[in-house]
Homo-oligomer: A and B are copies of this chain.
Amino acid sequence: MRISEASSKSGLSADTIRFYEKTGLVPAIARGPDGLRRFSPENVEWLTLLYWLRKTGMPMQEMQHFALLYRQGAQTLPQRRAVLLEHEKRLRRRRDDLDRCADVLAVKLAAYDRIEGDQP
């Protein structure tokens, strides 16, 4: 498939996909005889994973490392597992941040209520 389909399936914009390819986050994508990129289902699966990792705050440096492991094949599975487990921890921390922010907002909104209530 071509880049627009890969984009809508993975969630990444076409620009971002090209950018990721340039920076080595994505293995060089095969080209058709017309010179256009042709994405395999495996390519799209990889892009989709990157989409979720980025969206939930994995820095590009860490993704670069993960991409390197990916390119090195099956014997790096244990290391890749470690990266994903580490990211699970980050997800938990982020969720805690969201919860704490929700608390802060609740307090603020309650204060707004009191102030507005004071105004007759």
Q: Chain A interface (Cβ within 8 Å of chain B)?
A: 48-49, 52-53, 55-56, 74, 77-78, 80-81, 84-85, 87-88, 91, 94-95, 97-98, 100-102, 104-105, 108-109, 112, 115-116, 119
The quantity of this chain's copies bound in the complex is 2
Q: Which of B80, B81, B100, B112 contacts A81 (CB 8 A)?
A: B112
Q: Which residue of B lies closest to A95 (CB)?
A: B98
CB pair B101 A53 closer than 8 Å: yes
Main secondary structure of the interface of A (DSSP, over half): helix
Q: Which of B53, B55, B80, B97 contacts A55 (CB 8 A)?
A: B97
Complex: A49 Cα to B52 Cα, angstroms: 28
Give chain B residues whose Cβ lies under 8 Å from the Cβ of A97. Answer: 55-56
